[in-house]
Each structure stands twice: as structure tokens, then as C-alpha cells.
């Protein structure tokens, strides 16, 4: 029981728990026992009714602790329950029934308070699990049928009205609405959704009416995958927690030895009992996991998915931040600014050839080319045998000709990005596109420097001129252009000034994301690779959240260290005081739990961190 909450997986509402009711009954017996302490029972001259009631109280609150310790020993796992169990048994053997009953009640009450405070750190995570509805309105043969969300299949058509929560990931087939995506991105401003737009499970339809096609359901939906990953992140230990676990294994035998030496030196069993009680390192064990869960939950509340506390630990001390350009520093929404045909071809012809190959591409430049072609009224027929050469370009068969879209060797003074359109190896024309930096990019770089980040670097596959143009506009002096994925990887690996952070889109940047101490992906929509590769995902594509994330990481790491030092100091002083007879078992139990509650409360305070 004591220390069981360091796992942080089995919390319940405090006042609804069976443990709390048992505590009330067991603790309520104690004052009754004191009132009738002098009453003796016939046949038991050495045992008063009050003593029997105190033993009953110990059985209610103390027996579960002893049983938990026994199960731990049978499983060959040493837990801190053993220390309190020995103390309770010693109270029974020596006739200190009042001390045994009070210590049992205090320890259980302290454990429940720890549970309640720790549980508050999980509120943001629990909120994620509760956002999806239990039923959906499904179209069946022209009729609307209320269906359990568990029974919705991929391809089903669902009807969503104003006030409804969207139950699955899907695509809008008909209608228009405003959707509050705060549960996914942390951004409370509703987003307009119309035909062909993607919608996500757990988001709320503010107004209007839409029909959607279910694409991802249940655990495969965006919110389902987020919940799974956050739960996995809870179970992942930080480096601090691993160190605590390593030394915690020595606590029980060490405290037992001190208790024995105390009895040998003083012949006072009460002092030994006190040492056993105050020696439990509950707060020591709780400092790291509660802080980690609080930080992950706080990040989730702002639309930031963190896959484990160790990545926040790495982020807290990172000195080098490396950024991809397109879609990370920039908006990822480039526009076609010029089309230059050659060999007698027209602008429309060059644009349509490029669009045919780029149809279906997720790269922002490809999307921009297709959008421009369609906006000009051209019919785009998708190319066949399309293949992508990472870091170079894309190619495919268009009406029997091999069409390639590759980075141009020609640089534009304006800083626009230029691609060449090749037909059977011959240049058919060039297309220039410009992608402006995010409005928050320059301020984000200033804030990162203000929090002590030393090196800010852009690594881009684009040409030097457009990369340099963007770097200058956002205030970054270090940049490397024309970088293929393997070159980005080497840049990350060769950085020897400290820990690294790479921020990219999670697709072409996968090697760099994995190589960095912490990989951060921009955005979740349509990018499974971002979830699979990155350690942290900014669900709302908000670059300006990076300084907050650094502050949150440092706060978590700092509180873990403070909690460990504070719990160690409290335990050490309490053991000394207990050995010297300055603490009774009852005061020892109060001191132990007060220390644990202070440490846990300090850790849980992380969830109130502000973005600004």
C-alpha cells in the first residue's frame, strides 16, 4: 500500500474509494477504544475491550499493508511496505496497540492524500480519454440510425449536427461547419470545415451540419492514438526515476539495519519502530513519476504530445536547436509566383505536367503546384508509376513521357524556391514558389535565445538563396542548404556542444528526428510518420510553443531534483530524530506523510504552468 502509487496507473476518486471508507471505519474505532479502555472482558483479564477495538482498527487499516508486503516478498520484490509492516507487527507484539492503530490509520490516510494529489496531475490526460462520444448517427439506406461508436466501420457515412462531438476521424462529404479542435491542437478558435476537409474524433461541431465518411475509428483515430501514446509515456521512466529505482532497492535493508542498531544501542523498541516508519522513502519514489505525469498532462492540455519524460529531460538541457525550413520555420503553404516555359511550351502545359506528377504528394511544394493548376481551371490527370527520390525530387509517367520535378540549379535573387520540370530528361520549364515564414517564427527565436538556447540552426534541402532569405527574416545566423536526409543526420550527429533538438515535419526528416536527443514534429494532420518517428508532436503546428516547452521541461527537471533532495533530507532528519527518541511512532508517521504530501504537491503544481 505505502509507495504503491509510484506507478501512477490505478488511481480512483479519493472519496469514492473503498480504501477511504475502510479508513473511516478503522480510524473511527480508535476514539471509541480510548473511551472504554478500562473496561475488561470476562475470561480475558489481561485484555481490555479498548485494546481489542484497537487491534480491530489495526486489522482494518494495517492488515492490508502487511498483506501487500507479503505479496511483494512472495514475488521476490522488496517494497517499502515491509518497513511499515514490521513496525505494525512490532506494535502488536509489544502491546503498543494505540500506536499501531494510529500509525496504520495515518499511513493509509497519507497514502490516499498522495493518491488524490497525484491523480490531479492526470486530469488533462483523463480529459483526452473522455472527449469521444459513445454513440454516432449513421446513415443506413437513407435513414439515420443511432449506433454505438464501437460498431462504426471504415467507410460508414455519419451525420454530425451543431453541438455534436465528432466520433471518428473522417472526411467531409457534404455541408459546412465550424469545428472546435481544442482537444487535439489546444487551439480554442473554431476552424471552418467544408467538403473534402479532414475532421478528427473528439472535436466539437459548433454550428452547421455535415456528413462525413469514417476513415479511422476507435484506437486508430487521432485521439485514440494520442491516448495510447500518452499512456505509454506515463510508463516510461525518466533518467532520474531510473536512478531512484536503483538506490531504492537498498533502502529497505539499510533502514532495517539502522532500526536493529538503534535497538541494540538503546534497548528501546519504540525508537526502532519509529525508525522503520520514518525510513519509508515514499516521497523519494513519488518525486519523479508524479512530476513526469504532471508535465505530460500539462503539455497535452496545450496540444503537445510528449512520448516520455526522458525527452523532456533531454529538452531541458539541450543547447542546439536544428530546424527544417519548409513547413517548420515557414508556413508550409507556398504559392506559385512564376512559371517559365521553354522549348515552345505554354505555362499551362508546364504547370499541368508538374501537377500530374505531384498529385497525391504531401510535400507543400507539390500541393501548391496542384492547387495552382486546378485554380487555373486545368484538369489534372494523375501520372503513373510515380516514385520519390528523397532529397532530390519526384518523377512519373505522363502520356508516355517521363516527367521529373527536381530542385533547380538556378537561384532566384528574390529568395523564391525554383523547381525544374524535365520531360524525358530535357528541361520543359521552371516553376518558382515562395513560402513565407510563420508570423511567430522570429519572436520564437528571440524567446529561445532568452531562455538560454545557444545554437539555432536551419537544415534545409532547399537552395542557399531561399534558405538564407528565410534565415535572415527570422533572425537565425546559422544555416545549411541543399541538405539531403543523410546530410542532416550527420549534422545532428556531429554536434558536440551538448544535447540536440530537431524540429521537422516528420516525413523526410525522419533520420534527423531519430538522431537528435529530442525530435519534435510539426503537426499531426495526415502524418502518421510524425507520430511514429518524433518524440514530441506539436499538434497545432504552433512553433511559438517551443519556448513554453523548454520552460516546462526545465521546471519538471528542477522539481524532480528538488523533490528527491527534499525527501532525502526529511527522511534523514526523521531517522536521526527517531533514533534519538525525539519522535514517537505517531509523530513519525505524521512526519513521513507530511513530507510525502509536500513533495507530491510540489510535483503536481507543474500542471498549472502557463504558456506565457
With contact defined as beta carbons under 8 Å apart, do 98 and 294 qualify? no
With contact defined as beta carbons under 8 Å apart, do 72 and 115 qualify? no
With contact defined as beta carbons under 8 Å apart, do 288 and 121 qualify? no
The Cα 88–Cα 101 span in angstroms is: 8
Active-site residue, from 169, 324, 435, 509? 324
Closest CA to 51 of 93, 81, 95, 94: 95
CA distance readout (Å), 123 to 11, 115, 313, 514, 559:
11, 13, 22, 30, 19
DSSP H or E stretch at residue 320:
strand 318-323
Label residues 102-135 b or e (16+ Cβ within 10 Å = b).
Answer: bbbbbbbbbbbbbbbbbbbbbebbeebeebbeee
Q: What is the dihedral of CA 308, 313, 319, 325, to 10 degrees?
A: 20
The Cα 393–Cα 588 span in angstroms is: 70
Q: In this structure, what are the phi and psi dihedrals at residue 525, rounded to the nearest 5 degrees?
A: -55, 120
Listing DSSP states for 152-217 in one string gives: --TT-EEEEETTPBP-SEEEEEEEEEEEE-HHHHS--S-EEE-TT-EE-TT-EE-SSEEEEEEEE-
Which residues does residue 431 pair with via DSSP β-bridges, in sequence order? 339, 419
With contact defined as beta carbons under 8 Å apart, do 500 and 492 qualify? yes
Which of 349-352's residues contact partners 24+ apart within 8 Å by CB, and which partners?
A: 349/428, 350/421, 350/428, 350/429, 350/431, 351/376, 351/378, 351/431, 352/378, 352/380
The Cα 179–Cα 190 span in angstroms is: 5
Active site residue 324: yes
Cα 32–Cα 36–Cα 41 angle in degrees, nearest 5: 120
DSSP H or E stretch at residue 405:
strand 401-407
Active-site residue set = 324
Amino acid at each position: 500500500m505505502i509507495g504503491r502509487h509510484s506507478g501512477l496507473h490505478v488511481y480512483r476518486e479519493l472519496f469514492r474509494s473503498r480504501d477511504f471508507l475502510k479508513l473511516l471505519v478503522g480510524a473511527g474505532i480508535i476514539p471509541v477504544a480510548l473511551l472504554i479502555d478500562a473496561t475488561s472482558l470476562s475470561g480475558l483479564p489481561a485484555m481490555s475491550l479498548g485494546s481489542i477495538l484497537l487491534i480491530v482498527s489495526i486489522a482494518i487499516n494495517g492488515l492490508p499493508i502487511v498483506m501487500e508486503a507479503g505479496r511483494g516478498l512472495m514475488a521476490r520484490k522488496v517494497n517499502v511496505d515491509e518497513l511499515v509492516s514490521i513496525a505494525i507487527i512490532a506494535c502488536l507484539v509489544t502491546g503498543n496497540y494505540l500506536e499501531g492503530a494510529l500509525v496504520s490509520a495515518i499511513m493509509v490516510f497519507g497514502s490516499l492524500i498522495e493518491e488524490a494529489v497525484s491523480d490531479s496531475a492526470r486530469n488533462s490526460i483523463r480529459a483526452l480519454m473522455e472527449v469521444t462520444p459513445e454513440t454516432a448517427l449513421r446513415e443506413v439506406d437513407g435513414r439515420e440510425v443511432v449506433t454505438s461508436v464501437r460498431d462504426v466501420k471504415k467507410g460508414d457515412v455519419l451525420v454530425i449536427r451543431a453541438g455534436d462531438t465528432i466520433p471518428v476521424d473522417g472526411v467531409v462529404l457534404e455541408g459546412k461547419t465550424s469545428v472546435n479542435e481544442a482537444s487535439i491542437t489546444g487551439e480554442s478558435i473554431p476552424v471552418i470545415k467544408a467538403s473534402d476537409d479532414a475532421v478528427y474524433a473528439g472535436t466539437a461541431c459548433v454550428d452547421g451540419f455535415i456528413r462525413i465518411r469514417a476513415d479511422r475509428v476507435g484506437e486508430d483515430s487521432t485521439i485514440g492514438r494520442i491516448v495510447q501514446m500518452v499512456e505509454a509515456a506515463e510508463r516510461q521512466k525518466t533518467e532520474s526515476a531510473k536512478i531512484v529505482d536503483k538506490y531504492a532497492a537498498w533502502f529497505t535493508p539499510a533502514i532495517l539495519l539502522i532500526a536493529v542498531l538503534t535497538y541494540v544501542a538503546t534497548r528501546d523498541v519504540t525508537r526502532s519502530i519509529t525508525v522503520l516508519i520514518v525510513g519509508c522513502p515514499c516521497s523519494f519514489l513519488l518525486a519523479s513519476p508524479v512530476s513526469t505525469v504532471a508535465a505530460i498532462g500539462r503539455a497535452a492540455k496545450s496540444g503537445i504530445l510528449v512520448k516520455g519524460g526522458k525527452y523532456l529531460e533531454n529538452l531541458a538541457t539541450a543547447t542546439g536547436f536544428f530546424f527544417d525550413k519548409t513547413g517548420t520555420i515557414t508556413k508550409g503553404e507556398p504559392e506559385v509566383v512564376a512559371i517559365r516555359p521553354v522549348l515552345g511550351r505554354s505555362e499551362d502545359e508546364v504547370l499541368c505536367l508538374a501537377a500530374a506528377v505531384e498529385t497525391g504528394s504531401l510535400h507543400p511544394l507539390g500541393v501548391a503546384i496542384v492547387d495552382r493548376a486546378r485554380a487555373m481551371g486545368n484538369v489534372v490527370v494523375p501520372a503513373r508509376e510515380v516514385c520519390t527520390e528523397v532529397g532530390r525530387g519526384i518523377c512519373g509517367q505522363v502520356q508516355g513521357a517521363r516527367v521529373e520535378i527536381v530542385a533547380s540549379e538556378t537561384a532566384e535573387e528574390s529568395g523564391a524556391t525554383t523547381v525544374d520540370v524535365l520531360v524525358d530528361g530535357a528541361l520543359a520549364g521552371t516553376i518558382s514558389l515562395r513560402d513565407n515564414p510563420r508570423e511567430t517564427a522570429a519572436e520564437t527565436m528571440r524567446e529561445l535565445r532568452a531562455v538560454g538556447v545557444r545554437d539555432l540552426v536551419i537544415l534545409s534541402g532547399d537552395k542557399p538563396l531561399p534558405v538564407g532569405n528565410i534565415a535572415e527574416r527570422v533572425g537565425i545566423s546559422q544555416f545549411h542548404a541543399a541538405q539531403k536526409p543523410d546530410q542532416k543526420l550527420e549534422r545532428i550527429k556531429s554536434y558536440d556542444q551538448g544535447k540536440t533538438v530537431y524540429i521537422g515535419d516528420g516525413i523526410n526528416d525522419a533520420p534527423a528526428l531519430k538522431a537528435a536527443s529530442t525530435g519534435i514534429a510539426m503537426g499531426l494532420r495526415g502524418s502518421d510518420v510524425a507520430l511514429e518517428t518524433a518524440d514530441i508532436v506539436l499538434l497545432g503546428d504552433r512553433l511559438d510553443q517551443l519556448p513554453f516547452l523548454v520552460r516546462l521541461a526545465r521546471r519538471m527537471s528542477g522539481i524532480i531534483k528538488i523533490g528527491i533532495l527534499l525527501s532525502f533530507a526529511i527522511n534523514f532528519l526523521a531517522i536521526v530524530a527517531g533514533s534519538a527518541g525525539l519522535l514517537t511512532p505517531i509523530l513519525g508517521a505524521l512526519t513521513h506523510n507530511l513530507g510525502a504530501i509536500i513533495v507530491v504537491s510540489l510535483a503536481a503544481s507543474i500542471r498549472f504552468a502557463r504558456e506565457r
